[in-house]
Structure 1
Amino acid sequence: MALNVKIAGTGINLPGRVVTDTEMDARLQVRPGWVNKKTNVHTRHFIHQETASQMGARAAQKALEAAGLTFGQIDCLVCASATMEQPIPCTAALIQTAMGQEHSGVPAFDVNSTCLSFVTGLDVMSYMVHAGRYKRVLLVSTEVASKGLNWQQKESAALFGDGAAAVVIEQSAGEPSRLLHAAMQTYSSGARYSEIRGGGSALHASEYREAAEADYLFDMNGEAIFRMASRLLPDFLRGILEATGSRIGDYRLVIPHQGSAMAMRLLSRRLGISEEQLMYITPDRGNTIAASIPMGLHEAVRQGRIERGDRVLLLGTSAGFSLGGIDFVY
């Protein structure tokens, strides 16, 4: 069922500290050029004094400005991120405070499906907007990957960056913009391929010991994830195309989760996505987890690579192991 929903405005915020591949080579104690060769990430941003909620608030304010709106015209604030600023309360509440709207009463809550959090949040909240439950929703993905990196796992540590992106969604009655189809599949046989084991109720923060530090840091089996994605993504994409009677050539742009250069090559080779169709921002940002897709969307709008009425496909994978996609008319 097509939903009469449009993305009215986008915004991003990046931390001030820029980390080059040369700096990462030194940090990881590898030969010069190793990070660039392995990841194709030339620069990424790490927080210095910023918090996730502050970054999210700044991105949200820019999205409001792009949409020509004020916070008073928003009915709901949703944070769609993998990394939380603190276990309680939800990051959305902290973003509301960072925006100076702590007395607004606007409902605020989180949606988390790791790297697919934005796609999931957009899917869920689009139904709410289409049904009239909310007129306008502010959807924010703000990620701090740098705090949880395991520097002993060099290939994964070299990939990530921090940053935030936000969009405003609203009804699109009488306009070409609409959400055509959304899909998600989870294969939890791959749940252990990407995880942080410590910090929850199974391995509580109070049990932290330096000897078990790795349990509280990001742990990823990149090869296993790549194999799983290679096997599952073609059929998953085929299902999205069949649902709307489309071909891959019908999309003006495909905006994927910016996982790695290897993932981008997989998309191009296995899924038949041309270089002109692929939005690729990894070299300047790294993998910003759930913020990577809305960040790519923002850049696509800013660079004029999409215009109103263009077909766009959001596509990605996440820990869990999940696949997700949204087909929409921008």
Structure 2
Amino acid sequence: MSEILAKIQEAGHIVLISHVSPDADSLGSASAMYTFLLQGQKKVSWYCKSSEIDQKLSFLPWFEKIKSTFPLSADLAIAFDCADKKRLGVEIECELINIDHHITNTNYGDLNLVEPHFISTTALLYDLFKKNGVKINKKMATAIYAGLLDDSDAFLSQEVDGTTFAMVSELIGHGADFKLCNKKIAKSVSLAALRLKSVMYKSMLLEESARVSVFCISREDMAMTGAVAQDCEAPLEESLNLHHVEVALLLREQRDSGIKCSLRSNSAVDVGKIAAAFGGGGHFSRAGFEIYEKVSLDEAKVKILDLIKKEL
């Protein structure tokens, strides 16, 4: 951890990277670090390849600073919550620090801080700050809380324990606007997301004696509803509340080509293992991967279900 701070002190221009299709954990981590670097009067930029970023997360400090062009003058880059180098969306020529909590992280950085026992990357970053005597202000606390809230499924996931709530208490003590985070992340929903949810539930399949819920979303579904990728997440996770369902599978055609696959589990099945078989990664209960070969949604579904059957 001290090595990371030393690298930061030596750098002239630092670029913070949120992964493709970023969630609150990746954005929250970068937001908190952005504030820290500004306090140290560092030149800092924030990069994300995705042009469509969930606007319900626009309340995060410095969100408006995110750019889709990687600055050539950077001499240090820091990636947050990205298990695989491909999800950075850019080839990094400068020195790279990799900060993440995914057990499937490939340690692609020149310096890696990967701790899978942390519930979120923001939690790991908070630990880094605390152990090095960094003062946490309101903006940093809000950004860290946002990532913690999102990755813990609003504190409902199996990984939540007393340590999680102790951290929440500390963050609120540092001024975290937890009410705003709760409203925007746990409650806020767009009209497009509601339209997509209707489409997803209408076409949902229950496989393996209703132990697996399956959603197949076409490009036309996304275009018709006006939804973005993140809008698929809520119905996927909600389906795990159905009686008997142990695994939820989402297959979504991407705008250009390929299929994005997301897996969720109620902790009965290691979906991270399934994702790894397809070159992806994640956690025991949350994982994902991409299929680049030319296959239909139905063909992809059959392949993945075969592996899920074995795990069940």
Larger RCO of the pair (alpha carbons < 8 Å, separation 6+): 1
Which has a greater percent of strand? 1
**TM-score, structure 1 as length reference:** 0.28
